[in-house]
Structure 1
Amino acid sequence: MASEIDTSNRDPNNLNAHLGTLLFDDVIGEPDGTHSIICVWKLSHCCFEFWKGLCYKLMTFCCGCCIAAEWGCEFAYIAFWHIWYITPLFKVLEINCSVCQRLYSMCINCCMTPVCEAFGGVFHHFKRI
């Protein structure tokens, strides 16, 4: 069951922390020696903050629910495929690969081990001078 929605902390996992500090000073800056009139600077700051907030609110009002629905469907689709296809497929691969591993082990033990032991017995008698 979904937990209750926290309307004050809307990003509890800090998914978009990099956007939380997107302020006027992070986008627009006038270096020393190149300054606009103070009233233009202050008005620019007010306009930036106003339009950033207004446009965000309009876009979320117009598109937010539809986009949230689309993402909900997308994650439902992902969950469906993982639960009903991918995880069972991994189980099939695990079962089949364990059989292949046993077959490979038997072939190595039956064919290669006697050959290696024979060569080991031959070379065991050689001594370093």
Structure 2
Amino acid sequence: MMSDEYLVECKIDDDDDDDDYEVQKIQPSPPPPPQFSSSPSITPQPWLIHVDIRDPCGVNKHLKVEFSDVLAEPASTHSYDRVWIYSGIAFEAMRLWGYRCLTALCAVPVSCLCGCLFALLACMHIWCVMPCIQVCHTCLPCVRSLWMSVVNIFIAPFCTSAARCCSGIHVLFSKE
């Protein structure tokens, strides 16, 4: 069985109205699986395998923001061309370097906090929530039979008596 790192993604564009065809470079084929390679394979650490693919599940698709998504000038009002160009450059530089600086300061502490939070949640789920659920599943048949006895002894006769008392009442609607 092949691992996912050897799979190739093919992008298919179904737009038939495009007259311009782009020439794409052919990517070199991936290296052979380790069992077929002649050099000894070194197993990388799991967190270092896909350094370039940092959002494989597409969790943050909504964060792909470009200059044209944020700032736009209508046709009726235009600033100087140089101002527009430098604004775009400044936006991209600040977005990139601001993110890099903030992640350099915050990424490790936030990832530690998230790791602790998920460890706490896993511990609570494994050691508290699931045992309580299992106890409830174990005790519910006993509680159900006890509740059914209470209903049959006290509540059912009262409801039956009230129904018999009210069964003699007839309501007639008439127009005058």
* TM-score over 0.5 (shorter chain): yes
- In 2, Cα distance between the equivalents of 1:51 and 1:71? 27
- C-alpha displacement of 1:98: 2.2
Q: Which residue matches 2:130?
A: 87
Distance 1:102 1:11 in 2: 52
Partner of 1:41: 84
The whole-number CA distance in structure 1 between the counterparts of 2:141 and 2:74 is: 67
TM-score w.r.t. the length of structure 2 is 0.57
- Name the CA distance, whole Å, in 1 between partners of 2:69 and 2:141: 56
For 1:87 and 1:67, the matched residues in 2 are separated by 28
**% of aligned pairs identical?**
32
Residue 19 of structure 1 aligns with which residue?
63
2:97 matched to 1:57? Answer: no
1:17 and 1:98 map into 2 onto residues whose CA distance is 48
Structure 1 residues without counterparts, runs of 5 or longer: 117-129
* Equivalent residue, structure 1, for 2:51: 7
Write out per-residue CA displacement over residues 10-67 of structure 1, whole angstroms, 9 at most, x where no aligned residue.
00111111002x0111111111201111111111000000011001000111111111
List per-residue Cα deviations over 1:83-113 (Å, max 9, x = no partner).
Answer: 000110111122222222223345567885x
Count of matched residue positions in the alignment of Structure 1 and Structure 2: 116
Q: Distance in 1 between matches of 2:107 and 2:153?
A: 65
Note if 1:69 corresponds to 2:90. no
Higher helix share: 1
